[in-house]
């Protein structure tokens, strides 16, 4: 599948900020099942982008700017994908899977979540893949997609208690419960082509990968209750959202900050419509 992706993030500061530093993880890499045919990144200022790879191998750009009132960061490109049945191969794995058993503040479990995970794990103690599939489906059943009650700092515990959230929250709950069951899991940021023809989104997409012995890393998308397919374009990996966020940084001075995000994911050559959720 050929996915045409455009993603822009605009910040407005009133009054102007005296300085801005942003770390961008908006550039995907190629691996088995995903080939980046075209990709470019642009900013609305004359700032130079310093590019490197972070500890997990994500392509990272660092932007530093002085006094500024408006800043737009845009990426656009074409990614060719192939369905691998959710199995990830050909990536630069810099750490052993056991690192991804590490808990973070966003991926902790409370007693109800630990019980939730333990009951599913005991039903398929010798079947890690079965446990993960069951976990994905149970989270999808437990949660209702809702953009209002959560934000980028909402933890898995909070979202699980609310029973509501967005794809990031579904992923955090899956990761927290998988780790609680002894299975390494990690957060993935990227993009997803919807099957209903809706192409305009208010944010990128998020899912999880979990490590299965003899198979390797497998992609699980609990928000859609599917393993990853050629409709998923993988961009960045982290222990949680903070390590894979498309844009993360800080500003100095200034007053109110307004953030606007626009994403378009379409199959090359296909006509699309507007949508209001990722």
The pTM assigned to this predicted structure is 0.93
224-253 pLDDT tens trace: 999 999 999 999 999 999 999 999 988 888
State residue 135's pLDDT score: 97
Check pLDDT > 60 for residue 275: no
State residue 107's pLDDT score: 98
Check pLDDT > 80 for residue 28: yes
3-class secondary-structure state, position 7? strand
Buried b vs exposed e over 104-125: b needs ≥16 C-beta within 10 Å? bebbbbeeebeebbeebbeebe
136-188 pLDDT tens trace: 999 999 999 999 999 999 999 999 999 999 999 999 999 999 999 999 999 99
176-188 pLDDT tens trace: 999 999 999 999 9
| List of domains in the chain | 2-274 (3.10.620.30)
Check pLDDT > 80 for residue 26: yes
Closest-CA residue to 178 (of 234, 226, 114, 88): 114
């Amino acid at each position: 599948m050929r996915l045409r992706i455009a993603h822009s993030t605009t910040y407005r500061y009133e009054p102007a900020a005296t300085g801005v530093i942003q770390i961008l993880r908006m550039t995907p890499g190629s691996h088995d099942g995903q080939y980046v045919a075209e990709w470019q990144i642009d900013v609305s200022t004359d700032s130079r982008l310093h590019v490197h790879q972070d500890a997990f191998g994500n392509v990272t750009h660092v932007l530093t700017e002085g006094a500024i009132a408006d800043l737009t960061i845009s990426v656009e490109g074409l990614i060719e994908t192939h369905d691998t049945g959710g199995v990830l191969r050909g990536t630069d794995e810099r750490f052993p899977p056991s690192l991804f058993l590490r808990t973070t503040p966003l991926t902790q479990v409370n007693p109800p979540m630990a019980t939730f995970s333990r009951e599913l794990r005991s039903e398929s103690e010798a079947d890690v893949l079965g446990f993960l599939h069951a976990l994905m489906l149970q989270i999808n059943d437990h949660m209702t997609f809702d953009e209002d009650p959560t934000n980028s700092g909402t933890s898995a515990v909070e979202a699980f208690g609310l029973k509501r959230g967005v794809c990031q929250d579904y992923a955090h709950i899956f990761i927290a419960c998988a780790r609680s069951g002894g299975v390494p899991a990690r957060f993935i940021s990227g993009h997803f082509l919807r099957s209903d023809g809706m192409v305009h989104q208010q944010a990128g997409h998020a899912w999880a990968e979990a490590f299965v012995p003899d198979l390797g890393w497998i992609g699980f998308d609990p928000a859609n209750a599917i393993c990853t397919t050629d409709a998923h374009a993988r961009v960045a990996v982290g222990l949680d959202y903070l390590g894979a966020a498309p844009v993360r940084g800080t500003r100095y001075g200034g007053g109110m900050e307004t953030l606007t995000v626009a994403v378009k994911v379409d199959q090359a050559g296909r006509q699309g419509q507007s949508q209001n959720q990722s």
